[in-house]
Every structure is written in structure tokens, then in C-alpha cells.
Amino acid sequence: MRRLVECVPNFSEGRNQEIINAIAESIRNTPGCTLLDVDPGKSTNRTVYTFVGSPESVVEGALNSARTARKLIDMTKHNGEHPRMGAMDVCPFVPVSNVTMEECVQCSIEFAKRASAELNIPIYLYEEASKTEYRKKLPQIREGEYEGLAEKIIKPEWKPDFGPALFVPEWGATVTGARFFLIAYNVNILGTKEQAHRIALNIREAGRGPEQPGRLKEVKAIGWWVNEYNLAQISINLTNYKITPPHIAFEECVKDAKELNIAVLGSELVGLIPLEAMLMAADYYIEKENLFVIDQRQKIKLVVERLGLNSISQFDPKKRIIEYMIEEEPNEPLANLTLRAFIESIAARTSAPGGGSASAAIAAIGAGLGCMVAQLTYGVKKFEHLDKKMREIIPPLYHATQNLIPMIDADTNAFNDYLEAIRLPKDNPRQKAIREEAMENGLKKAIDVPLSTMKFGDAAWDMMVEIAKYGNIASKSDIEVGAKSLETGIWGAYKNVLINMPKIKDERFKKETLELAESLKLRAKEKLNEVLEILDKRVD
């Protein structure tokens, strides 16, 4: 997986489309940066940009956007609903994948050093990048906003971390740092700005002050009126969605709105959201309403509906969920073939794909047939007394099937490391030792792939037995074929474990792996017989 950092600069311009586009282009044209979202707001007069890239490239993207804003935005003419203190108001760096928070801190410091020196602007550090407690949070630094900055910036305790301790009228000041993934989220109400703000005070962590804290941790919120929507909003920043996720904030707003006798008209996501937060919401509503939803796409639809995320504009998961935006197509050329092409590729005069890939495919078909019968039994009036049982059976079979499919290609790719190791030089004892170690590690990896196929297949057996007991007997042959296919796939994977074992020198690895593989093979045979015996005895 790539090393990815998310950068979410907020610029104090949400009305002039030429300026909005110019900043977007400066990011889009930065090598290594992928611009994911541009979200302007007219009432707030603010645009939130979201882009990702390597640590090095996102720093360049942030710099390029700041350079453009320095030329085009004049804060002396700015007004809007959102709190702000600068043209580039805030520029956080957020770890996404294979990047630590400390690396993001270094990104923010690098950006601050270079931007302050080149553009002659004051920059403050916040969140994880700040070492000063009284100026660690964004509201602390932004207190007084742009209008109070001229007096504030010359005070010793508010000297910028980088750049001049002077008021720059056309720019103001910028805040940068590293933080956890922030979700900007608005709840829509048919009420007044004052009512929205009252709810915001109730839920936000700061509440109405130290003596009257709000109910939700890691939440910042205010109420405002949005002219273009002709309604009020509770504008919420969720600074740690693992502590307070969007669905909890939404439900708390709904509860308060009911007490005030005002209607909630869905909600609005500003920028992107992590997939985890959406799935947390799905799990919440599934449990709350005793639903049964297993497909991830259907879970996302459920959340969009329950939170009313389409109420203002169309919520497109591919453009709103960050993992969907940056996901790469899986390297699964075999699994993506037509069935005919896959079989023909096995029959071709090549060593790959071979028995390992075929075994994974057969095992996947076996688990899939069990899942099919369970789903055909679930939700049918005749079998509604079994719905609870099917809810237990379907998920393990579904997940086993999904886990086995990638093993079709994984087996074909299993020898890549071993083949590369063979090509290593062996001209002297040191090179030979390095080569032999690399070959051993490559072989272990090649063995681990079919062993993983066996493990994934084994995870389906208990529910294959259950579906044999309770599934629609009209699908008896499907269960029989499924169980036999699953056992055959596991047996085939076992043979692929054995064939590479003689070359392994690590005796402990060899012993432990063979013991596990043997036990999985024997269990598959036992479970197959159990399934067939159950089905032979069923008469319903």
C-alpha cells in the first residue's frame, strides 16, 4: 500500500469561482498529488480542498496552493459565516496509510518553514505539531479572528511559530499542523439560527463554558443560517470520529430538535469521510433496528438514508468516502477473467495458473454455494422461523467466499519473491548466504499462500454444517456440491503446501506448518462427511 498523507487546506474564498478554480489547479498540477474534493460555500465564503499524496508531494501541493492564494485572495474584503483568520486559514496534514503522525508533523513544519519564508506570512502550529498547550487547539489560535489579529499578533505570547510577528492585512495568518482525521459535518434543521446554535451548545464538548460542558467529546459545533439552503444548520467538526462518530452527533441533534419541536432535514458531509466511520454508522443502525445487511454497498446506502446525506446534494460514495477515492484496482487478472477464459488459461501450455489457483477457485465456489443456499432460505415466509439462524450462518460463508477469491491470483504470484531470489548474485560466500536466505523466505511465502487458502476455507466449515441442518432441503444438491468443492479446494491447497516443503531448511517452520496443514486437511474430510451424513438423514 502506498504511503499517503491527506492535506485539507481551507481557504477564505467560496464565491469567486475563478479563484476557487485557480487554487484547485495549483494542487491538481502538483506531481504526486491527487485532488479528491473541492467544497465551496457561499454563506461561509470558504472552500475546503482535499488532496492526497506522498509526504513530500503534499507539502509541494500545499505550497503551490498557498502561492496562488497569496496572489488572488485579499482578506481586507472578506466576510462570511465561518470563523477565520487568514486567506489560507488552516492547513492540516493527516495520516492515511503507511504514514505516522510524526511524519505528518514534519510535513506541517516543512510547509510552515518554506511558506513563511517565501510568502512572508505568519504561520502558527496546532494540534500534534504544537508544543504549547494554550495555543494547541484551532479555536484558541483563531480567537479574535482576522479582525483581532493586528493587536494579537504583536503580543509575545502570540508570536507566530514561523514568519513575521506582524499583521499582513491582505493575508492574515495561517494555522498548520498534524491531526487525526476530522469530519466536517452539518445537520440541517427547519428552525432559526439561534435554535441551531442552542443545539450546538448542548452537544459540543466545550458546551457553554467550563461550568456547563456539552454532552459529546471531541466535538466542536456552532449554529448558523445558510441562505442558499434556506435553512439553519448545526455545523459540527468531529475531531476524533472513533470517540464521537457522525451518527451519534446526528442522533443527539435529532433528540434535541424534538424537544424544541423543530424538524431535522437530514445532514450534509463537507469534504470526505473514512469508510470506517460509515461502517460504524451502519453497524449502529443495523443493531438498533435489528436489520440484516452484509453487503458493504448496501450498508453505505443504509447510512446515507438514515443520516439523510442526500438532503442537500447527491451523496456519491465514490467521491465522498476517502478509501473509495484512493483505492487501487486489485491486481487480480485471473479472478477478473470470464469463467471460460479462466478455465482456458488453466488448460494452456503454461505452468501458471495451476493447481493452487484452481484449488482457491474451487474452494471459493464451495463456500459460495453454501452462502447461496443460506440466502435463498433467509427471508422466505416458509422458512421465516429460521431467519435468526440464517443471520448467523450467512456472514461466515459470505466472508469465506470473499477471502478465497483473491487467493486465486495470490497463488500464481506466490513464487515471485523466490524467482527474484534465484536471480541474486552468488559470486562469493556472502552473496550466496544472502541469496539462500532470500530463497528460503520466498519459499516460505509461497507456502503461506496455499496455507492461507486452507485457513480461509476452513472458516466456512461450521456454517456449512449448519446450513446442511437447516437450509432449504430443495437445495440439497447445492450444499453437497458446495461441501465437496470446499473439501477438494482445501485438499488441493494442502498438496501445494507439501510440494514446496522439501526445499525448506527451517525445521521448526516445516514441522509447525505441516502439522497445521495436516489438521486442516483432516478436518475438511471429517466436515464433508458430516455434511453428507446430515443431508442423507434429512427428510423435510
- Just list the catalytic residues: 82, 411
Q: Which three cell numbers stand for residue 3?
A: 504511503
Whole-angstrom distance, CA of residue 530 vs CA of residue 540: 18
Whole-angstrom distance, CA of residue 417 vs CA of residue 395: 34
**Contacts for 105 with CB less than 8 Å, ≥ 6 apart:** 93, 128, 129, 177, 178
- Left, alpha or beta for 5 (phi > 0: left; psi -120 to 50: alpha)? beta
- Whether omega before 395 lies within 30 degrees of 0, making that bond cis, reads no
| Contact status, residue 367 vs residue 460, Cβ threshold 8 Å | yes
Phi/psi at 224 (5° precision)? -150, 170
Whole-angstrom distance, CA of residue 142 vs CA of residue 180: 19
Whole-angstrom distance, CA of residue 251 vs CA of residue 284: 11
Which SS3 state, helix, strand or coil, does residue 238 take? strand
| Contact status, residue 57 vs residue 32, Cβ threshold 8 Å | yes
- Whether omega before 333 lies within 30 degrees of 0, making that bond cis, reads no
**What string of H, E and C letters represents the secondary structure of 135-158?**
HCCHHHHHCCCHHHHHHHCCCHHH
Whole-angstrom distance, CA of residue 265 vs CA of residue 229: 11
- Kindly tell me the sign of the dihedral angle through the C-alpha atoms of 73, 78, 79, 83: positive
DSSP percent split of the chain into helix, strand, coil, nearest 5: 55, 15, 30
| Distance set, CA 191 to CA 85, 177, 309, 324 (Å) | 29, 36, 19, 35
Element (H, E) at 411: helix 407-413
| Greatest C-alpha distance within the chain | 88
Whole-angstrom distance, CA of residue 105 vs CA of residue 179: 8
Q: Which three cell numbers stand for residue 73?
A: 485572495
| Contact status, residue 267 vs residue 310, Cβ threshold 8 Å | no
> Which among 482, 348, 338, 333 is positioned nearest to 410, based on CA atoms?
333
What residue spans of 289-330 are helical by DSSP H? 296-307, 317-320, 322-326
Element (H, E) at 172: none
